[in-house]
Amino acid sequence: MTNGIDFYIVNRPKEADSSEKHAKFNEELHNYLLNQEGNPAQRYGLLLNLDPYSDRLFSSRDLYELVIICERLLNEYSLNTNKRWEVDKIIWGINKFAEDLKTLCLVALEQNKKVFAADD
């Protein structure tokens, strides 16, 4: 199991444990992107400036911003292949996480719910 920030679809933070939908922002990816972006991060600030040791409940407005951040990450770190073994582990991880978080945010918006980020 890797350390990092877990994202869940919820109405209230207490629902995180029972949430079926989930995205994991592992510590290695977080640190890599912070090193690339600088600290504090500007372009991806809402995502990268999260405190890994505290929780956050994202509003619907935040979710739209997270979707845009995910799309930018997917564009900046785009894959030229679907063959995982041909891609750098970090770049593959960024793409997987960005796709997962984007989907999670869109589902939450569709269901009129929020996204809760919690340290593990």
Spell out the alpha helix ranges (H) of 1-120: 27-37, 45-48, 60-76, 89-110
> pLDDT tens digits, residue range 6-50?
999 998 888 888 887 789 999 999 999 999 888 777 889 999 999
Assigned fold of 4-119: Hypothetical protein yfbM fold (3.40.1760)
> pLDDT tens digits, residue range 60-106?
999 999 999 999 999 999 876 666 556 688 989 999 999 999 999 99
| Distance, CA of 41 to CA of 31 (rounded, Å) | 11
